[in-house]
């Protein structure tokens, strides 16, 4: 009986509708329910804890979030430092650049006739349409940008910082790349070769043989050095993909050179993939503990929901409840203007892990 009492301690509190409630008020009452609704409320609480603790918050961005209309949310998270370091797929940065350059994505239908779209030079991402000719023009723009760089390898982090600066000087528009540039928040893109940014870089090389070299192995070193230096880290992952694992491997690699780090102290993921097929995107945060990617005692939560549903409510709530905590937090101070990151006034060692 006492075992039963011990297990049955917190009743489900049925949700009730209160008209005109704010997103944070709704989320507040969702703490009492079950399933993914509860997990979304917990995600708020875990993120808030991250902000109140002295840790570096990594944000992973995968899935077509920029094309789908979440790029300015991510820019706001960067500007207001709800996150400290971004790891993204190339596509999300490319689609961000596309809009920053004044082009648009369009609402369409998943049931569109794709042959007709191909004939009209329209590219589709589920229910979203894009003008293919504008994309070709972007690629040329990226190639031209790449031609202005020195003929040496750049980490994706350094390249994207310069790309953000170039975009800002040319457009003055908000977006992920420009916000990160202005806020000195590093962006890593380990799979840049699998994206239209990579395609644009490859086109630069057609003109100049040294152009468009990305040192993605250098990115591994830089990301691990952030963990080595700061030790306390948190992971916020949207959609899985390469960013999820890259953020986790930074912990593992850091541990290799500086024992005792022990994985992220906080972990939050919003994913739609499932664990039982063995893929990394859907893997549980418990599984990540076996690898030491996430600390054994970490505050963690997985929300199985499309980020386009979760993020508008979650970030609105967080901005309402945690803006003060966020403003007061001790932020990692990055200087990204050189070949090596300067963190809190001290440069990382030249092309090497900090030991």
List residues with catalytic annotation.
293
State the binding string over 94-133 for a second copy (x if CB under 8 A, else -).
Answer: -----x----xxxxx-xxx-xxxxxxxxxxxxxxxx-xx-
Closer by beta carbon to a second copy, 147 or else 304: 304
* Angle at the Cα of 325 from the Cα atoms of 314 and 236, rounded to 5 degrees: 45
Euclidean distance between CA atoms 150 and 210, whole angstroms: 8
248-307: contacts with a second copy (CB under 8 A): 249, 252-253, 256, 272-281, 283, 286-287, 289-292, 296, 303-306
Euclidean distance between CA atoms 97 and 159, whole angstroms: 14
Contact 264, 237 (CB under 8 A): no
Say how many residues touch a second copy, by CB under 8 A: 145
Of 228, 250, 256, the C-alpha closest to 237 is 250
2-21: contacts with a second copy (CB under 8 A): 3-4, 7-21
Q: How many residues does the chain have?
A: 355
Classify each residue of 246-272 as buried b or exposed e, where b means 16 or more C-beta atoms within 10 Å of its C-beta.
bbbbbbbbbbebbeebbbbbbbbbbbe
Of 337, 312, 307, the C-alpha closest to 60 is 307
User: 70 φ, ψ to 5°?
Assistant: -110, 10
| Least distance to a second copy, CB of residue 257, Å | 8
Closer by beta carbon to a second copy, 164 or else 175: 175
Euclidean distance between CA atoms 159 and 200, whole angstroms: 13
With CB under 8 A as the contact rule, which of the stretches 47-55, 178-186, 312-320, 332-340 interacts with a second copy?
Answer: 312-320
Contact 78, 176 (CB under 8 A): yes
Euclidean distance between CA atoms 233 and 293, whole angstroms: 11
| Least distance to a second copy, CB of residue 302, Å | 8
Closer by beta carbon to a second copy, 279 or else 338: 279
46-105: contacts with a second copy (CB under 8 A): 62-64, 67-73, 76, 91, 99, 104-105
144-183: contacts with a second copy (CB under 8 A): 153
317-346: contacts with a second copy (CB under 8 A): 319-320, 323
| Least distance to a second copy, CB of residue 311, Å | 8
Closer by beta carbon to a second copy, 12 or else 345: 12
203-242: contacts with a second copy (CB under 8 A): 203, 205-206, 209, 212-221, 224, 239, 241-242
Q: Hey, how many other C-beta atoms are within 10 angstroms of the C-beta on 346?
A: 10
């Amino acid at each position: 009986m006492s075992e039963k009492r011990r297990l049955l301690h917190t009743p489900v509190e049925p949700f009730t509708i209160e008209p005109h409630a704010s997103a944070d008020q709704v989320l507040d009452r969702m703490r009492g329910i079950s399933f993914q609704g509860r997990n979304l409320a917990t995600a708020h609480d875990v993120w808030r804890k991250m902000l109140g603790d002295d840790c570096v918050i990594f944000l992973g961005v995968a899935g077509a979030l920029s094309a789908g209309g979440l790029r300015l949310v991510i820019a706001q998270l960067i500007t207001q430092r709800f996150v400290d370091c971004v790891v993204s797929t190339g596509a999300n940065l490319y689609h961000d650049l596309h809009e920053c350059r004044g082009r648009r994505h369009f609402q369409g239908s998943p049931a569109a006739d794709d042959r007709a779209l191909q004939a009209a030079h329209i590219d589709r991402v589920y229910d979203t349409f894009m003008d293919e000719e504008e994309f070709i023009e972007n690629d040329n723009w990226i190639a031209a940008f790449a031609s202005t760089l020195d003929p040496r390898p750049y980490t994706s982090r350094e390249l994207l910082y310069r790309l953000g600066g170039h975009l800002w000087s040319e457009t003055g528009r908000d977006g992920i790349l420009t916000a990160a540039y202005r806020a000195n928040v590093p962006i890593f893109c380990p799979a840049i070769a699998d994206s239209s940014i990579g395609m644009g870089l490859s086109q630069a090389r057609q003109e100049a043989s040294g152009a468009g070299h990305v040192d993605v192995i250098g990115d591994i070193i830089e990301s691990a050095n952030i963990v080595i230096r700061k030790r306390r880290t948190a992971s916020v992952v949207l959609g899985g993909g390469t960013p999820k694992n890259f953020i986790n491997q930074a912990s593992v690699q850091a541990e290799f050179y500086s024992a005792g780090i022990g994985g992220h102290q906080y972990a939050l993921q919003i994913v739609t993939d499932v664990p039982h097929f063995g893929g990394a995107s859907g893997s549980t945060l418990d599984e990540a503990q076996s690898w030491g990617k996430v600390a054994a005692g970490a505050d963690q939560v997985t929300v199985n929901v499309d980020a386009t549903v979760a993020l508008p409510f979650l970030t609105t709530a967080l901005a309402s409840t945690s803006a003060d905590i966020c403003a007061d937090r001790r932020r990692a101070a990055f200087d990204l203007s050189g070949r090596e990151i300067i963190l809190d006034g001290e440069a990382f060692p030249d092309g090497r892990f900090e030991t």
